[in-house]
Amino acid sequence: MSGIYIHIPFCKQACSYCDFHFSTNLKLQDALVEAICLELTSRAAYLEQPPLSIYFGGGSPSILSSRNLSKIFDSLHQSFDLSEINEITFESNPDDHTSENLLLWKKLGVSRLSIGIQSFIDRDLQLMNRAHDAREAEQCVTKARDAGFEHLTIDLIYGIPNQSFAEWKSNIEAAIKLGTDHISAYCLTIEPKTAMAYQIRTGLFNEKSDEEIEQEFLYLHQRLEEANFMHYEISNFARPGHLAQHNQNYWSGKKYLGIGPAAHSFDGNQKRSWNVSNNALYIKGIKTNDPNFDFEVLTVRDRYNEEIITGLRRKDGFNFGTWETSAQEEILRNIEQITRTQSEVIQCSGSNVAIHPEKWLVADHLIRALMLD
């Protein structure tokens, strides 16, 4: 099983909380798309087998012109055998859901839209400097369905400053009412170099307390499970048969190819590489056949630790039954040494270790406690 990730590093405007690699200057769009197509061609042999999924992320892939997006799909078809593809996910913003765009995405083969709604409240959207408004947030799913998209997921954010608990509950109800089969909900993280971090430092508003965030998370978990969603990863909920296949491959350590600036690749074994997080340097490197990238070679214990990190964020957890004997002995010692409170959070069944979804907010702490030295 393998997949392709394509990073589109352009946005209409900068969300106040975002620290991903992106640019609001679209002057390099044509040149960057040409470089993406060249990289697809030059790395066609990387996967060694037909990919099962493709994911367009960003940035905002939905900002691409029809001509440039068509070029990328042409390069995909020319460079890879896409006969085994079962999921092509495309991140989109509600304000880009025009009839023309939706029909184009459908025609090109996009099978799943990941829509960045974040909130159905105008005040929240303005605070986060989103490009859409509440009306567009409510209408975008209907437009997508009318264009023939059956597989849709929407993003929500909790922990938003100045948002009441009642408003958070209304956001969840609005999401359920839309009838999508997958919802991703992320806790707002205040990254140091973002506009929101500056606004907090200067006292424009305050971060929510841990207690408020926990209340919102627990209600999210309970309400979506009542609505027949399975909480299968710390930030992801799906109705039966609608789990995100591409992301599951990431979490399971499968092979994937990352294309575009800042994109990561993994050979499924030991080597992880990533492209430079600079559009101009990326373009120059690809065009001169001297790509700007870095890499790391993982040890066996590195891989075990990655299984712990990704596993404790998933409902299925991780299984250490096939690990080397010394690693199995160490993980058992780590489990025994954690505090009684922590051990009540962990669920152990033979060699399988997991965290109950309602306790996922302490996942980072438990991951640090269990990781191998």
Which two three-digit tokens encode residue 357?
Answer: 């979804």
Among residues of the chain, what percentage have pLDDT more than 90?
A: 87
CATH topology of domain 300-370: Arc Repressor Mutant, subunit A (1.10.10)
Question: What tens digit of pLDDT does each residue of 264-321 get?
Answer: 999 999 999 999 999 999 999 999 999 999 999 999 999 999 999 999 999 999 999 9
Mean pLDDT, the chain, integer: 95
What are the residue boundaries of the structural domains of the chain, listed by start? 2-249, 300-370
Pairing of strands 264-266, 230-233: unpaired
Other beta carbons less than 10 A from residue 186's beta carbon: 15
Question: What tens digit of pLDDT does each residue of 58-103 get?
Answer: 999 999 999 999 999 999 999 999 999 999 999 999 999 999 999 9
pLDDT of residue 193: 83
Contact 310, 354 (CB under 8 A): no
Kindly tell me the burial class for residue 201, based on how many C-beta atoms sit within 10 Å of its own C-beta (0-12, 13-18, 19 or more). Answer: exposed
pLDDT of residue 40: 98
Q: Which residues pair with 119 in a beta bridge?
A: none
Tracing tokens 């025994």 back to the chain, one arrives at 336
| Range list of H helices, the chain | 29-42, 66-79, 99-108, 122-127, 134-146, 165-178, 195-201, 210-226, 245-251, 279-287, 300-311, 325-337, 340-345, 363-370
Return d(Cα 168, Cα 171) in angstroms, integer: 5
Strands in 236-238's sheet, in edge-to-edge order, are 230-233, 236-238, 182-187, 151-158, 112-118, 87-92, 53-58, 2-8, 255-259, 264-266, 271-275, 293-297
pLDDT of residue 297: 98
CATH architecture of 2-249: Alpha-Beta Barrel (3.20)
Which two three-digit tokens encode residue 268?
Answer: 């499924």
Model's pTM, two decimal places?
A: 0.95
